[in-house]
Structure 1
Amino acid sequence: MRCLVTGATGYVGGRLVPRLLAAGHEVRCLTRDPRRLRDVPWAPKVDVALGDVARDVGLAEALAGIDVAYYLIPAHGQDPIEDADRLAALNFAIACEAAGVQRIVHLHGPQPAGREAGDIFLRCAVPAVVFRAAMIIGSGSASFEMLRYLTERVPVMLAPAWMRNRVRPIAVRDALRYLVAAAAVFPPPVNRAFDLGGPDVLAYVELMRRYAQIAGLRPRALVPVRGSAPWLSAHWVGLVTPVPHRVARPLIDGLRRDAVGGEHDIARYVPDPHDGLTGFDTAVTLALRKIGAGDVETRWSNAAVPGAPSDPLPTDPSWSGGTVYRDERTRAVAAPPERLWRVIEAIGGDNGWHSFPLAWSVRGRLDRLVGGVGLRRGRRDPARLYVGEALDFWRVEEIVPGSLLRLRAEMKLPGRAWLELRALGDGRGGAVYAQRAIFLPRGLAGHAYWWAVAPFHAFVFGGMARNIARAALAGS
């Protein structure tokens, strides 16, 4: 099938495209800004059409020769944008009819504006399959990120009435499975909406409690209060999390009533997997998967095709993927990269950390006081390191000889931390030293810890960068 995907720079669309390609379909992406697709690895395999659904620009050209058209543009659901949402859906429906498209596929959440777009497609002349998903679980999904941030950052909070309503979330991998199937398995007469959801039906407060347990957080205290006030809740979300108010408001509006769906008719056309649909706990575990610092900034190019749908993508919004704190520093070194590398590989143990010895000693002693390993493990060899061995209160997670040393912290922390040291050539015989400290906070204590120690980073990490560069220059 020849498929057009709108919203390919969005959460679902960016994960759908490579799966359509893997299923043997030809794909064209409609976008207002082709530059946003420049860095995705599947870009050379698709046609990119410039256009704007809201302004009815480029639709005829983008839909020419298309069999199945995916409408994955999220609805804003707030006045006066509601009229623009309806107009965009109507423009798309008319253009699909004029182009002779065989099917429209649409996915929307529980918000009313999304349902309106679905109704428009179901009333047009082109058969449509409309999927209704109350909540998609995957790193980058707006509804999941709101759940993630609220749970991690607010250990005690008031729970308005909408938080006690039930929802039936679906893992992104299952939602994508249905979307891919929609390109081929539905017979032409099918023109209807289908409810999508996983095996679990839970109140939002229970979702927060289950998330906290899976993420290793202390139990959250949720105090029930009367009333909903979704506008106030949306402002609260915007205040305490990176999720913008304009994104949170339609999500909360959609949860003002139970969002559990009333049927599972989709199984008549796309049978459930042999091991069943993905449960909430498993979906959250997959969404939180970060195997070392290399996956903190997970890109689609780092995953095997068709990839891990729960992982973040380059096109995901900046507030998705959970909080990641970084301290990054670079220094030019007038010495060959191999000399810089010798200094990097020899770091730690009796050789020291090239930075404010008292601070490292105090940190090691504090770690031992709370039951950690401290600095007592030292290093096995004064000049060579291997993956998996201990290095003071770090563990060597990755080493690329001559280029990269990545250490994973094993001290007691309210979160997870890595330290990356790199030796890069500057193309002129010299070197560039690149240093990156990464911290993934766990709960409110993790955020407090980072900001408490941040004022000392200039002394600790800044001093390390300067002294490593000096040591390489001196030939030590």
Structure 2
Amino acid sequence: MKVLLTGANGYIGRRLKEKLLGEDVSLRLLARNPKSMTPDVKVEVVQGDSFDVDSLERALEGIDVAYYLIHSLQEENYRELDKLSAHNFLNAAIKQGVKRIVYLGGLGVKEHASTHLLSRIETGEILSSRPTEIETLWIRAGVIIGSGSASFEIIRHLTEKLPVMVTPKWVKTLAQPIGVDDVVSYLEASKDVPLEGNVTVDIGSKMMTYKEMMLGCAHALGLKRWIFPLPILTIKLSSYWLNFFTPVPYNVARSLIEGLSSEVIIQNENATKYFPHIRPVSFEHAVKQAIQEMEENQVFSRWSDAGGGKDVWEKEFKNDTSAALFLDRQTLPLDGVSKEALYGAFCSIGGDEGWFGYNWLWEIRGVMDKMIGGAGLNRGRRDTYKLRVGESVDFWRVEDLKENERLLLRAQMKVPGKAWLEFRIKGDEFIQTAYFYPRGLLGRLYWYLLIPIHYFVFKDMIRSIMKKAKKL
């Protein structure tokens, strides 16, 4: 069987990819940036996206089953983009003779769905619109619980940080959460299950309110929490609240909050009919497993691994630091320190390890970023020591990574321009460079105002990295 996986650098996609690699299939991936894919001789990677019809047709050529795990949530006009993307994919799949599309969408009733959920439903309707020409298996899930999932990150951060919560009335909304491993199991099995035309399969575990989920998470963490719902908190205020206390940026928080007002519960029994061998684990079990993975540094993927937006690395992944107008460069001799130790030291930056000095300044910058709707520092990082291209490190994203040679981070904080932070080992020198491409007069003022701070922060950073490398 020849399988195409889209969204393979996303939260679900990365996990499904690993599952499929253990199957007897020929696997092909469609990715904007092939460098974001871990090299594997078993996998073919086609560069492109669902808005490039030529690359879509190349990727779908000879494919039996195509997984559609694509959405444009972080774009302002994501609903229209999602429609166009689905139409392009459906047309290309039919043209290339694909037998089945497997799509992961969201639970919800169209008449009462938020804009976000409505977009996911419309995508499913488009992919299912030509049943005489191609089969579509539409898997619908609600709140996905797992280490690194956006839903779990929100619930966990609120639960850990706030002993007493005054919440909007949406905490009384019903949902049927499901563990991420169960979602992946349904998706993996979807390539083989016998069908009779198009089928929609709703998946989930026990029905719960969001309040019960937060209290259940608190119980799993060994915490006591009190939640008091109030009807006066608006969607906008709730979105700012989530943005400030969780790793989710404002635009994503708003879309999720709008969705929380809609019940996301199972509408059919097809999960039992078509997948009788899969028994979803309980919410508490999924939470405990997620916590264990975090404690053991085994988080495989995160919701922020692949983000949307008009200015993110997936679309502009070229190392265009040469365009920078301003830079701050610091150099030190290796002085006997091995390249392996130095590489390990600067690749541990961010997250719980901090930023090698002046962490209080970085924290202030993170709070400022959160206040204007940015990612802030509390996205943290997936693994304390290991990095891969495309994943987030606080309010940066890994844009390039060469073992024992280079780490390039691209800024994702709110900034009037584009910024990069590079660590490079060249010959017998360690070179640390901050690049900045300003946007207009404001960008230039921003750089000049920060020169005194940069002098101390970056000079201390390179020395601290070298000090850690010597210890390693």
Shorter-chain TM band = 0.5 to 0.7
CA shift at 1:230, angstroms? 2.6
2:239 to 210, 234, 241: 234
Partner of residue 126 from structure 2, selected from 120, 136, 161: 120
CA distance, structure 2, for counterparts of residue 130 and residue 263 of structure 1: 12
* Percent of aligned pairs sharing the same letter: 35
Residues 11 and 291 (structure 1), Cα distance of their counterparts in 2 relative to 1, 3 Å cut: closer
* RMSD, matched Cα: 3.7
AA of the residue aligned to 1:250:
S
Write out aligned runs for 1:65-464 (5 A): 65-76=62-73, 80-110=77-107, 111-124=117-130, 125-187=133-195, 189-198=196-205, 200-217=206-223, 219-226=224-231, 229-273=234-278, 276-290=279-293, 295-296=296-297, 298=298, 311-312=300-301, 316=305
Task: Map 1:42-61 onto structure 2 (within 5 A).
Answer: 43-61=40-58
Question: How many residues are matched?
Answer: 326
Aligned counterparts of 1:19 and 1:290: Cα–Cα separation in 2: 17
2: CA distance, partners of 1:463 / 1:237:
34
Residue 190 of structure 1, CA deviation: 3.0
Q: Partner letter of residue 263 of structure 2?
A: D
The residue matched to 1:140 in structure 2 has which SS? coil
Give the residue type in structure 1 aligned to 2:99. Q
Alpha carbons 1:153, 1:241 under 8 Å: kept: no
- 1:27–1:47 Cα contact (<8 Å) kept: yes
- Structure 2: tracts of 5 or more residues without a match: 108-116, 308-331, 342-425, 429-459
- TM-score, scaled to structure 1: 0.61
Worse overlay, 101-110 or 59-68: 101-110
Give the distance between the partners of 1:83 and 1:204, measured in 2 at CA.
29
- Return the alpha-carbon distance in structure 2 between the equivalents of residues 61 and 468 of structure 1: 45
Query: Is contact 1:112–1:254 with CA below 8 Å preserved after alignment?
Result: no
1:215 deviation in Å?
1.6
- Show CA shifts across 1:143-164 (max 9, x none): 2222222222233222212111
1:123 partner SS: coil
Q: Secondary structure, in 3 states, of the residue corresponding to 1:47?
A: strand
Quote the residue 1:30 is aligned against: 30
Say if 1:314 and 1:209 are closer, same or farther in 2 by CA, change over 3 A: closer
Please tell me the residue identity of whatever aligns with 1:213.
H
Would the aligned equivalents of 2:153 and 2:246 in 1 still touch at CA under 8 Å? no
- Secondary structure class of the residue paired with 2:292: coil
The offset of 1:179, in angstroms, is 0.5
Distance, in Å, in 1 between the alignment partners of 2:336 and 2:18 is: 44
Deviation, structure 1 residue 70: 0.6
Displacement of 1:467? 11
**Structure 2 match to 1:450:** none
Residues 318-349 of structure 1, C-alpha deviation per residue, up to 9 Å, x if partnerless? 9xxxxxxxxxxxx9896799xx9xxxxxxxxx
Which SS does the other structure have where 1:288 is aligned? helix
Shift of the alpha carbon at 1:17?
Answer: 1.1
TM-score (norm 2): 0.61
CA spacing shift, 1:157–1:55, aligned 2, 3 Å: farther
Give the deviation of 1:315 after TM superposition.
Answer: 7.8
> Partners of 1:244 and 1:133 in 2: how far apart?
22
Secondary structure at the aligned position of 1:29 is classed as: strand
